[in-house]
Amino acid sequence: MRYVSLRTACMAACLAAATLAASAAAGSPSSPPAEAPASAAAGTADATAPAIRPVDDAWRASLPLDAQAATRAYLDRLSPEAKARSDAYFEGGYWLLLWNMLLGVAIAALLLFTRPSTAVRDWARRVAPWRWLADAIYGGAYVAAATLLSFPLTVYQGFVREHAYGMATQGFGAWLGEQLIGLAVAVVMTAFGVAVLYAVLRRAGERWWMWATGVAVGLMAVGVLVGPVWIDPLFNTYRPVEDGPVKRAVLAMAHANGVPTDQVMEFDASRQTTRVSANVSGIGSTASIRLNDNLLRRSSEAEIRAVMAHEIGHYAMGHVPQTLLQFGVLLFAGFGASAWVMHRLLRRYGERWRLPGGAAAVADVGSLPLLVGALTVFMFLATPVTNTIVRTMESHADLWALNLAREPHGEAEVLLKLAEYRKTEPGPWEEFIFFDHPSAASRIGMAMRWREQQLP
Ligand SMILES: [Zn+2]
């Protein structure tokens, strides 16, 4: 239930595609707000009382059939301290959304109003033999500058905060090394994206924002294809899972559901985090089933089957192409709104920002900070929409998993582990606005309803 992998992959690509250098501010590709911390490793605060009260099969068998009562019994196994901690961790994330948006906009404004940004643009044009190369240089420099300027916030949310909540396993040096790798990746991806985008924008004219949407969706698709193959191995080592009951069980479900691969890969996420995660990545011949070592080590076979059935569900239901389409529609609105704002601001400040007059300004890479700023605000406002797009698919994958693995208890056990860092029982509006996956209360409720209806 790297239930997040889909979103991370998409958002990373989406942001890169939209040349949102702000994404660099939100952390390296290796440090998404990933999945579950294992129960055993939820920090030192509760070394005596377990965060999740352990139970045995007899407890599960004796649960009432009534879905509501069974859900309550599961949720009550979370200790009050663990619940308070996960609430605090998750609610802190609401504010981080705001701070990241404001910082992204502030950096964009700083680069527009000060000299260095256009100085880099002009220098790149002098030294680069081709315009696309000059644009690429500017794009790379923009990401580097934005990363540097947002570094304090990155350290807080990617390192300090993760350690404070007992989810990170890396020392600062190792973490910083990965940030640098992430920066190198972001520079290369953004340079490529910016070169393509502005090559199109120079020819696009009035309707440039429609063309920009097409470019962004194309770049997102490229990101989804190359991410698992070229980028993920920069952060983790992947090796085949040993033959055995777990691998056989996973492959049996995969083959029955049209995932065309015989490979189940394991990766060493424990070097970064205590969280449990897995994903099914790629399409066709590049399809690959991947689960992390935390999941393998800390979960029962029933739990692993429940997790992998969920991931297989994402693949079988075509959630990656669906996400591309739905985010494409959203970006269409985003670029449209950005164009409206940009044209007005350019009329007023274009000269001060040392940009050409009229329509040529949006095709000048020097206006990139303005585009980034506008899209950053739009994506912030669209948070409930993006979360609902993803959350809806996650619910479908949960249902798929229940029908495929038929492990409502395995599913509920893993969800309880996820609940250690994701608020368990939010209000309905809170869940609508902030949750990219349904809350534990919703998901365990679904598993227990399934159990209520399926058992004789
Ligand atoms: Zn998922």
Positive or negative: CA dihedral 63, 64, 69, 70: positive
Q: How many CB atoms lie within 10 A of CB 64?
A: 12
- SS3 state of residue 153: helix
Residue among 240, 331, 341 nearest 291 (CA): 240
- What pLDDT sits at residue 205? 84
Q: Which of 8, 10, 2 is nearest to 320 (CA)?
A: 10
Q: Is residue 378 part of a domain?
A: yes
User: What is the distance in A from the centroid of ligand 1 to the CA of 278?
Assistant: 9
CA of 7 to the centre of ligand 1 (A): 8
Distance 54 CA to ligand 1 centre (A): 25
Q: Do the Cβ atoms of 420 and 51 come closer than 8 Å?
A: yes
pTM of the model: 0.86
Q: Greatest CA span in the chain, whole angstroms?
A: 76
Tens of pLDDT, residue by residue over 183-229, are 999 999 999 999 999 999 999 888 999 999 999 999 999 998 888 88
Give the number of domains in the chain.
Answer: 1
Please say whether the beta carbons of 145 and 121 come within 8 A.
no
Q: How far is the CA of 406 from the centre of ligand 1 (A)?
A: 17
Are 111 and 145 in contact by the 8 Å Cβ rule? The answer is yes
Instruction: Supply the pLDDT for residue 11.
Output: 36
C-beta neighbour count of 121 within 10 angstroms: 22
Calculate how far, in angstroms, residue 310's C-alpha sits from the geometric centre of ligand 1.
6
For residue 369, tell me if it sits in a domain.
yes
Structural domain harbouring 317? 1-226+301-456
Give 419's pLDDT tier (boundaries 50, 70, 90): confident
Assess if residue 427 is contained within a domain: yes
Average pLDDT on 5-22 reads: 36
**Which of 254, 256, 324, 323 minimizes the C-alpha distance to 289?**
254
* 251 within a domain of the structure (yes/no): no
CA of 453 to the centre of ligand 1 (A): 23
The predicted pLDDT at position 275 comes to: 85
Residue 265 lies in a domain: no
50 band by pLDDT with thresholds 50, 70 and 90: confident
Distance CA 418, CA 4 (A): 11
* 306 C-alpha to ligand 1 centroid (Å): 11
Cα distance between residue 315 and residue 308, in whole Å: 11
Is residue 275 within 8 Å of 34, Cβ to Cβ?
Answer: yes
Percent of the chain whose pLDDT exceeds 90 = 75
* Ligand 1 centroid – CA 290 distance (Å): 13
Q: Which range is least confidently modeled, 1-10, 228-237, 356-365?
A: 1-10
Q: How far apart are CA 345 and CA 327, in angstroms?
A: 26
Residue 15: band (very low, low, confident or very high) from pLDDT cuts 50, 70, 90:
very low
DSSP state of 45: T
Query: Where is pLDDT greater, at 7 or 428?
Result: 428
252: which residues sit within 8 A by CB, 6+ positions away?
Answer: none
pLDDT of 22 > 50? The answer is no
How far, in Å, is the centroid of ligand 1 from the Cα of 311? Answer: 6
How far does the centroid of ligand 1 lie from the alpha carbon of residue 69, in Å? Answer: 26
217 within 8 A of 323, measured Cβ to Cβ: no
Tell whether the model's pLDDT for residue 4 goes beyond 80. Answer: no
CA of 1 to the centre of ligand 1 (A): 5
pLDDT surpasses 80 at 385: yes
Q: Measured at the alpha carbon of residue 30, what is the angle toward residues 26 and 32, in degrees to the nearest 5? A: 50
Please give the distance, rounded to the nearest whole angstrom, from the Cα atom of residue 409 to the centre of ligand 1. Answer: 18
Beta strand pairing call for 264-267 and 36-37: unpaired
What's the gap in Å between 314 CA and the centre of ligand 1?
6
Q: Are 275 and 37 in contact (CB under 8 A)?
A: yes
**Ligand 1 mean position to 237 CA, how many Å?**
22
Task: For residue 269, report the distance from its CA to the centre of ligand 1, in Å.
Answer: 18
Count of beta carbons in the 10 Å neighbourhood of residue 297: 12
For residue 270, is it within any domain?
no
Q: Is the pLDDT of residue 14 over 90?
A: no
With respect to residue 289, please indicate whether it lies within any of the assigned structural domains: no
How confident is the prediction for the chain on average, in pLDDT? 87
pLDDT in the model for residue 456: 58
Rounded CA-CA distance 109/111 in Å is 5
Amino acid at 150: S
Ligand 1 centre to CA of 153 (Å) is 28
Q: Give pLDDT, residue 365.
A: 94
Can you give the pLDDT at residue 181?
96
280 CA from centroid of ligand 1 (Å): 10
Give whole-number Cα distances, 340 to 44, 170, 205, 318, 367, in Å: 51, 44, 14, 34, 14
State residue 377's pLDDT score: 97
Distance 347 CA to ligand 1 centre (A): 44
Distance between Cα 207 and ligand 1 center (Å): 36
Q: What type of residue is 29?
A: P
The model's confidence at residue 274, banded by pLDDT at 50, 70 and 90, is confident
Nearest-angstrom CA–CA distance, 121 and 365? 7
Query: Cα(395) to centroid of ligand 1, in Å?
Result: 8
Mean pLDDT, residues 271-283:
86
Alpha helices in 257-382 (DSSP H): 293-298, 301-316, 319-349, 368-381
CB 140 within 8 A of CB 188: yes
Residue range 292-298: mean pLDDT, rounded: 89
313 vs 258: CA distance, rounded Å: 10
Q: Does residue 233 form part of some domain?
A: no
Residues counted in the chain: 456
Rounded CA-CA distance 178/308 in Å is 27
Q: Give the lowest-confidence range in 23-27, 126-130, 151-155, 450-454.
A: 23-27
The token duo for 442 is 């919703």
Q: How confident is the model at residue 19 (pLDDT cuts 50, 70, 90)?
A: very low
Ligand 1 centroid–CA 352 distance in Å is 47
Q: What pLDDT does 71 receive?
A: 97
pLDDT at 49: 59
Q: What is the DSSP string of 224-269?
A: HHHIIIIIGGGTS-EEEPPSSHHHHHHHHHHHHTT-----EEEE-G
Taking the centre of ligand 1 as the mean of its atom positions, its distance from the CA of residue 117, in whole angstroms, is: 40
Distance 22 CA to ligand 1 centre (A): 25
